[in-house]
Amino acid sequence: MMNIIRIPVLEDNYIFVLHDPDTNEGAVVDPAVAKPVLDCLESLGAKLVAIFNTHHHLDHVGGNKELIEAFPDAVVYGGKEDRGRIPRQQVFLEEGDQVEFSGKKGKVFFVPGHTRAHIAYYFAPTKDDDKGDLFCGDTLFAGGCGRLFEGTPAQMVDSLDKFRTLPDDTRVWCAHEYTLSNLKFAITVDGNNLYLLDRYEEVRIARSQDKPTIPSLIGIEKKTNPFMRWDSESVKLAMGFEQPERVFAKLRGMKDNF
C-alpha cells in the first residue's frame, strides 16, 4: 500500500510524501524545501529511501541536499537530460524506465516542454478498485499546463498527449495550486463547455474554503482543460487554427498574458 501525503509549501507548491506503512519507508516527489518533509517523516517514524524529481527548478529540488544529509542512503532520481542540474542526482531516467516504491512500479514519461528535461512518474493501479497516480511536476496542471521555458509547443503537445492515454480515473498530482486561475482563463476560450463551467464553480467554492483542488483526475482534465483539448472543435475554433501545435501555441501565448 502506498499512502500519499500532500504538503503545501511556499506560496502555491505541493510536495508529495509517499509512505509505505508496511515497511515504514518513505519517498518524496519534488521536495521544494526539506523541513516539512523531515517533519512529516518524523511524525510517521519513516525512513526516506527515494527522492523523485521531475525537473531541475529550485522549487522542485531545493530540499534535496538537506534531505540527503539527513538520509544519506536515499537515492535521488531525475531525468537523464537534467544531469548536472539536480542536486545529488544519482539515477538518470529516460522514457520507459521504471522506478519502484512500496511494491509498485512507476513508469517514467519523458515530457519536455516546460523544460527540456522534464519527466513524470506514473504508478499504475495494483488492484481492480485502485486508481493510478501520475506525478507530473509542472507539465500538466489542473486546468492548465506549465509555461514553455525550454521546450516548444510541439513538444508540449506530444508530452500532454502521453497523459491522455492514461485511464480517466488516474489521479493527477501536479505541483502547484493554480486551478482556480487556470479555469478562469479556460472559460475565456471554451466558455460553452458545460463540464468546464461546473468544474469552475466546484473549484471556486473549494478555494473559498481554502481546500486543495489537487489531485485532479485525467478524465476531468480531458473534459475541462483547454491544454488537453487542442483537437476539440470548440478550442480550435476559438484559436482559429487546425494544427495541434499552432492551436497550442496561441493558447499558451494567451495564457502567458492573461
Among the options 20, 30, 55, 82, which is catalytic?
55
* pTM listed for this prediction: 0.96
**Between the CA atoms of 251, 253, 256 and 258, what dihedral angle is there, to the nearest 10 degrees?**
-60
Taking 70 as the pLDDT cut, the residues of the chain under it are 128-129
**Burial level of 9, CB count in 10 A (0-12/13-18/19+)?**
middle
57 is catalytic: yes
The confidence score (pLDDT) of residue 61 equals 98
The confidence score (pLDDT) of residue 1 equals 81
Q: State whether residue 43 is helix, strand or coil.
A: helix
Among the options 60, 118, 133, 190, which is catalytic?
60
Instruction: Answer for the pair 97, 108: CB distance below 8 angstroms, yes or no.
Output: yes
Please state which CATH class domain 3-256 belongs to: alpha beta
The confidence score (pLDDT) of residue 127 equals 77
The confidence score (pLDDT) of residue 130 equals 83
The confidence score (pLDDT) of residue 19 equals 97
For the segment 234-248, what is each residue's pLDDT rounded down to a tens digit?
999 999 999 999 999
The confidence score (pLDDT) of residue 128 equals 66
Domain boundaries, the chain: 3-256
**Between the CA atoms of 88, 90, 95 and 100, what dihedral angle is there, to the nearest 10 degrees?**
-110
Q: Strand 75-79 vs strand 91-93: parallel, antiparallel, or unpaired?
A: parallel
Cell of 32: 521544494
For the segment 101-126, what is each residue's pLDDT rounded down to a tens digit?
999 999 999 999 999 999 999 999 98
